[in-house]
């Protein structure tokens, strides 16, 4: 009976295992960095959505009121600040709503401009 060691080359060498672990570690670190970017972009998108919804709601509230009563103003809603200006354009009012919100990189703004039609004033 031959009791010589198994020298057929089955299995992996220590060097192959270490190389595989290094490559796996690099892949996992890349995935972690990518997921951090995704989280940052998702939270930025949520802030943009909230700012846009707030500006749109302000335009709708101004549109619902009487045209002579449309005036410029400022309001604060949580971490969002609204500023709106109104200018006359014939029988319409041009409303520009700017919403400012904070991010880790500093304040950002979103602006929504809309025309509000006014009924002509009878002489």
Domain presence at residue 38: yes
Q: How many domains does the chain have?
A: 1
Would you say residue 34 has pLDDT above 70?
yes
Find the domain containing 63 and state its range: 14-117
Mean pLDDT, rounded, for 12-25: 94
**Matching residue, tokens 């919804």:** 53
For residue 120, give the DSSP letter.
P
Would you say residue 6 has pLDDT above 60?
no
Domain presence at residue 1: no
Domain presence at residue 2: no
What is the per-residue DSSP string for 51-84?
A: HHHHHHHHHHHHHHS-GGG---EEEEETTEEEEE
Hey, what long-range contacts does 80-84 have (CB within 8 A, 24 or more apart)? Answer: 80/50, 80/51, 80/54, 82/54, 82/55, 82/58, 84/58
Distance CA 58, CA 117 (A): 16
Domain presence at residue 62: yes
Interval 74-113: pLDDT, tens: 999 899 999 999 998 888 999 999 999 988 889 999 999 9
Domain presence at residue 19: yes
Domain presence at residue 27: yes
Domain presence at residue 39: yes
């Amino acid at each position: 009976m031959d009791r010589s060691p198994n020298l057929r080359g089955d299995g992996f060498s220590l060097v192959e295992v270490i190389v595989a672990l290094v490559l796996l570690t690099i892949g996992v670190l890349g995935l972690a960095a990518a997921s951090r970017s995704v989280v940052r972009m998702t939270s930025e998108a949520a802030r943009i959505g909230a700012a846009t919804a707030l500006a749109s709601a302000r335009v709708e509230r101004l549109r619902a009121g009487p045209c002579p009563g449309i005036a410029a103003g400022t309001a604060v809603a949580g971490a969002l600040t609204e500023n709106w200006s109104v200018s006359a354009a014939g029988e319409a009012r041009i409303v520009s709503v700017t919403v400012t919100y904070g991010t880790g990189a500093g304040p950002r703004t979103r602006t929504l401009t809309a025309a509000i039609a006014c009924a002509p004033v009878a002489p």
